[in-house]
């Protein structure tokens, strides 16, 4: 008889990967015991039935949950002679590969079989360990029946002391069970042979190799690891995710759901390489239809004179499409209709509307004026374009910004065809945006400005709970993008009003339009869709060259070449009192303008005085 012990760490009882794991474990084991704390008790019973052991007192970690269940089995006399499977919500799995049978292990001198190991002899934090020593992680482990029946096994768990510290738990649990195996003249075995992996911690550092080789689970920690540490260790998460999409679609979907609901969006886009360079040469020439059907092209032509430029973009679309065009006046509407007729566009391929007001500009013209079209379900896929002007910057910078948007989204028929191929192959991509603009703009690290709290509040009103990024939101800066209508449906279901937007000409930061711009990516994540950032090869080269130069200039001003230490140095500087005061006043200024946009001119002199007093001379 084999018992699977599954530990649901706090807040994960309703997660899809938990339901998936319990279903698969039920097919592998004779019974499943679930450990959950009181807060998750009802949800745990909903997915696991009556086999739930409630955990009380202390923090429920995987190790604490295993200890709770094993001691329960020991006290009820059910531990002897049973093999065990240990796993929990800290891992995605089990995969389709069947683990070894617990009753067969001890005959081979194996007491424990694990998905992967930690190479303690290579870890500089663990001095004095044998260089070839490996100890088992218990993210997914099978315990031999005879080993579980030994008094030393129950004694190990009875004496185990855990305080909720992950590193201390690893040492007590993994190193401790490795030493117990040695004392009991048994050994650990693993899903992969020792020479298949090379690093200290392959569950993180070689996740792509583990997945491709058929390891029984993926550690959730690889998603939540700091992106800077991912960078320092050159972790390749994207190949692992791509492999899972084809090899185990259910597990892939559960992993993505966890990532979208638990990992800040920019962190996930970074660690999972959710950026794609889309070639401009069509990979499959001649194709003109895709599974998504007719594309809705929403264009806000506030400047009717831009129609020739829009038409050049529309001509690049190789797919069936319907134009939905808004403009600001009846006169503009007639000019646009005349232009389209001159191009030979059939009337049934275009719908023209005049916006009720221009408050909210391109945002209100989409989320209010075209609400009925999106909610009708007529279109699965849409493209958003508008007559982009950026009057607050120089004409050259504004033109560069517009090119950044148009070229990365609609560079040409081949580029669009390749993008549509990607959307067809990966239906969980809900939003396609250009990368954050940084050429000519100080976007990076500062683009929340005064909008983060408002975004959090608006998402809460929609019932969307996803973590927001700390510094630079994943957003369609310039508000042009491809989107699945299902991914942004909450944005159209919400009853926005024209008066909710700043009146012209006070289109200020912190107003609803700027908040919506930064909400879009998080609404997409909240509906279970991924965000993909795309660019052409030409744009990638231009953006990368400038980004690399700016980064090396910043790094050269710091003491260390290690990015973690660089960030620590900068954060120490930011903690200085003068910086804190300036940042606080900056936030206050933004909140005042968001509420009373007309105060901009009145507050201007005070703002400049604060800058002279608090900022270093080159920054004033």
Backbone angles phi, psi at 83, to 5 degrees: -85, 155
pLDDT value at 618 more than 60: no
d(CA 543, CA 444): 13
d(CA 472, CA 443): 8
Q: DSSP secondary structure string, 407-470?
A: HHH-S-HHHHHHHHHHHHH-TTEEEEEPPPP-TTS--TTTTTTT-HHHHHHHHHHHT---PPPS
d(CA 405, CA 122): 47
pLDDT value at 124 more than 70: yes
Interacting residues of 426 by C-beta distance below 8 A, sequence separation 6+: 245, 530
Q: What angle do CA 470, 472, 473 make, to 5 degrees?
A: 90
Tokens 């995969």 correspond to what residue?
95
| Predicted confidence (pLDDT) per residue in 314-335, tens digit | 999 999 999 999 999 999 999 9
Q: Which of 423-437, 467-481, 534-548, 583-597 has the lowest mean pLDDT?
A: 583-597
| Predicted confidence (pLDDT) per residue in 330-349, tens digit | 999 999 999 999 999 999 99
With 0-12 / 13-18 / 19 or more C-beta atoms within 10 angstroms meaning exposed / middle / buried, residue 187 is middle
pLDDT value at 465 more than 50: yes
| Predicted confidence (pLDDT) per residue in 128-157, tens digit | 888 889 999 999 999 999 999 999 999 999
pLDDT value at 507 more than 70: no
CATH of 2-216, one of 1.25.40, 3.40.50, 3.90.550, 2.60.40: 3.90.550
Which 3 state secondary structure label does DSSP give 53?
strand
Higher pLDDT residue, 434 or 510? 434
| Predicted confidence (pLDDT) per residue in 254-296, tens digit | 999 999 999 999 999 999 999 999 999 988 898 899 999 999 9
pLDDT value at 615 more than 80: no
220 is written with which tokens? Answer: 């959730």
pLDDT value at 359 more than 50: yes
Q: Domain 276-545 classified CATH 3.90.550.10?
A: yes
- What confidence category does residue 579 fall into, taking pLDDT thresholds of 50, 70 and 90? low
Give the Å distances, CA to CA, from 455 to 243, 358, 426, 430, 466: 34, 22, 28, 19, 11
pLDDT value at 591 more than 80: no
Q: Delimit the domains of the chain by residue range.
A: 2-216, 276-545, 561-619
Strands (E), 510-589: 530-535
Beta bridge pairs of residue 475: none
What pLDDT score was predicted for residue 586? 72
pTM of the model: 0.90
Contacts 24+ apart (CB under 8 A), 244-251: 244/211, 244/218, 245/426, 247/95, 247/96, 247/211, 248/95, 248/96, 250/20, 251/17, 251/20, 251/92, 251/93, 251/95, 251/218
CB 334 within 8 A of CB 323: no
536 is written with which tokens? Answer: 């052409």
d(CA 312, CA 223): 41
CB 534 within 8 A of CB 431: no
How many H helices and E strands in the chain? 28, 19
- What confidence category does residue 614 fall into, taking pLDDT thresholds of 50, 70 and 90? low
Mean of the pLDDT values across residues 228-246?
Answer: 96
Tokens 């069970």 correspond to what residue?
177
What pLDDT score was predicted for residue 505? 64
Instruction: Calculate the CA 307 to chain-centre distance.
Output: 36
d(CA 164, CA 187): 27
What pLDDT score was predicted for residue 392? 64
What pLDDT score was predicted for residue 509? 75
- Calculate the average pLDDT of the chain: 91
Mean of the pLDDT values across residues 371-377?
Answer: 98
Interacting residues of 65 by C-beta distance below 8 A, sequence separation 6+: 5, 7, 8, 9, 35, 55, 88
pLDDT value at 620 more than 50: no
CB 291 within 8 A of CB 424: yes
d(CA 437, CA 416): 20
Mean of the pLDDT values across residues 583-596?
Answer: 69
pLDDT value at 506 more than 60: no
Per CATH, 2-216 and 276-545 having the same topology is answered yes
- What confidence category does residue 594 fall into, taking pLDDT thresholds of 50, 70 and 90? low
Mean of the pLDDT values across residues 87-100?
Answer: 89
What pLDDT score was predicted for residue 619? 44
What pLDDT score was predicted for residue 410? 97
Strands (E), 129-175: 135-136, 140-143
Tokens 């079209």 correspond to what residue?
373
């Amino acid at each position: 008889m084999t018992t699977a012990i599954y530990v649901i760490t706090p807040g994960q009882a309703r997660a899809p990967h938990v339901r998936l794991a319990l279903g698969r474990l039920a097919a592998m084991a004779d019974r499943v015991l679930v450990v959950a704390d009181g807060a998750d008790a009802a949800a745990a019973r909903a997915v696991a039935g009556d086999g739930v052991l409630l955990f009380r007192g202390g923090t429920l970690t995987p190790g604490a949950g295993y200890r709770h269940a094993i001691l329960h089995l020991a006290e009820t006399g059910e531990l002897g002679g049973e093999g065990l499977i240990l796993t929990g919500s800290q891992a995605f799995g089990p995969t389709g590969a069947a683990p070894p049978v617990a009753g067969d292990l001890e005959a081979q001198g194996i007491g424990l079989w694990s998905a992967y190991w930690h190479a303690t002899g290579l870890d500089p934090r663990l001095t004095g360990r044998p260089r070839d020593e490996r100890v088992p992680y218990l993210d997914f482990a099978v315990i031999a029946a005879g080993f579980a029946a030994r008094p030393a096994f129950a004694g190990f768990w009875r004496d185990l002391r855990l305080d909720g510290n992950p590193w201390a738990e690893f040492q007590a649990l993994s190193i401790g069970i490795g030493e117990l195996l040695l004392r009991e003249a048994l050994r650990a075995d693993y899903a992969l042979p020792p020479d298949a992996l090379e690093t200290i911690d392959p569950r993180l550092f070689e996740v792509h190799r583990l997945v491709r080789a058929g390891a029984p689970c993926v550690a959730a920690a690889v998603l939540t690891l700091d992106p800077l540490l991912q960078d320092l260790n050159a972790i390749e998460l994207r190949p692992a995710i791509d492999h899972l999409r084809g090899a185990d679609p259910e597990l892939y979907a559960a992993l993505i759901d966890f990532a979208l609901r638990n990992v800040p969006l920019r962190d996930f886009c970074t660690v999972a390489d959710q950026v794609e360079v889309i070639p401009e040469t069509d990979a499959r020439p001649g194709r003109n239809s895709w599974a998504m059907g007719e594309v809705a092209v929403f264009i806000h032509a506030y400047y009717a004179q831009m129609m020739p430029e829009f038409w050049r973009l529309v001509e690049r679309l190789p797919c069936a499409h319907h134009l939905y065009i808004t403009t600001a006046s009846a006169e503009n509407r007639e000019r646009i209709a005349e232009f389209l007729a001159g191009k030979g566009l059939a009337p049934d391929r275009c719908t023209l509307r005049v916006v009720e007001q221009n408050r909210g500009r391109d945002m209100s013209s989409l989320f209010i004026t075209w609400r009925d079209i999106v909610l009708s379900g007529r279109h699965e896929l849409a493209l958003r374009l508008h007559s982009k002007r950026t009057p607050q910057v120089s004409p050259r910078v504004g033109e560069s910004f517009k090119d950044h948007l148009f070229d990365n989204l609609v560079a040409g028929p081949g580029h669009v065809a390749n993008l549509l191929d990607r959307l067809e192959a990966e239906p969980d991509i809900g939003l396609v945006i250009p990368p954050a603009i940084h050429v000519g703009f100080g976007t990076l690290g500062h683009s929340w400005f005064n909008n983060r709290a408002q975004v959090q509040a608006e998402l809460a009103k929609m019932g969307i709970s996803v973590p927001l990024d700390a510094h630079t939101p994943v957003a369609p800066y310039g508000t042009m993008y491809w989107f699945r209508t299902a991914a942004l449906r909450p944005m159209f279901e919400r009853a926005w009003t024209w008066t909710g937007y700043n009146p012209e000409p006070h289109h200020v930061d912190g107003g609803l339009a700027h908040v919506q711009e930064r909400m879009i990516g998080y609404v997409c994540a909240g509906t279970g869709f991924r965000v993909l950032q795309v660019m052409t090869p030409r744009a990638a080269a231009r953006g990368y060259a400038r980004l690399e130069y700016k980064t090396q200039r910043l790094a050269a001003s710091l003491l260390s070449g290690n990015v973690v230490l660089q960030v620590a140095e900068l954060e120490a500087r930011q903690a200085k009192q003068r910086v804190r005061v300036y940042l606080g006043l900056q936030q206050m200024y933004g909140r005042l303008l968001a509420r009373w946009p007309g105060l901009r001119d009145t507050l201007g002199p005070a703002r400049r005085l604060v800058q002279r007093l608090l900022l270093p001379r080159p920054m004033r």
